[in-house]
Homo-oligomer: A and B are copies of this chain.
C-alpha cells in the first residue's frame, strides 16, 4: 500500500457517494483548497484530520496513517499538462512568466514568491457577460541575501 492507493480510494468513494470537496473542507475546518490538495495526495494530515477523513471516506487505520506521511508531491502525469483546464494555467506561466518575474523584482528586488508559505483562494465571480473564476494567490516574498 502507498499514498496513491489512498488517494484513489478517496476519489472513488467521492464519486460513488457524491461527496463535495467543500463539504469535506467544512468538516475539517480548513479551506477547500488545502483540503482538496490533501485528499489528492499533495499535503500531510494531522492525526485528527486523518481520523476525520477516515470517517468521511471509510479509510482503515493503515490508510489513515498514510495520510500522515509526507507525500512525494507533483500531481500531474506529464511536464506539460494535456488537460485543457490545467494547461491554461501552464500557459499563463508560459506567456506571463517573464512579466510576473519583472514586476515582482521591480517591487521587491531579487527573490521569489514562496510556493510553501503560500495560500490560494478560488471563487466564482458573477458577471453578466459570463461568470468568472477569481483566484487569489498569496505567497511570502523571500529575498536572496548576500553572504
Residues of A within 8 A of B (CB): 1-2, 8, 11-12, 15-16, 18, 20-22, 30-34, 36-37, 40, 42-44, 46, 49, 62, 65-66, 69-70, 72-120, 122, 124-125, 127, 129-147
Tell me, rounded to whole Å, the shortest Cβ–Cβ distance linking A61 to chain B: 9
Residues of B within 8 A of A34 (CB): 146-147
Can you list 10 A-B contacts with CB-CB less than 8 angstroms, sorted by A residue number?
A: A2-B11, A15-B65, A87-B87, A92-B137, A93-B93, A103-B122, A107-B124, A112-B116, A132-B139, A134-B138
Number of copies: 10
Q: From B99, B111, B136, give the contact of A134 (CB < 8 A).
A: B136
Residues of B within 8 A of A115 (CB): 84, 88-89, 91-92, 95
Are B30 and A146 closer than 8 Å at their CB atoms? yes
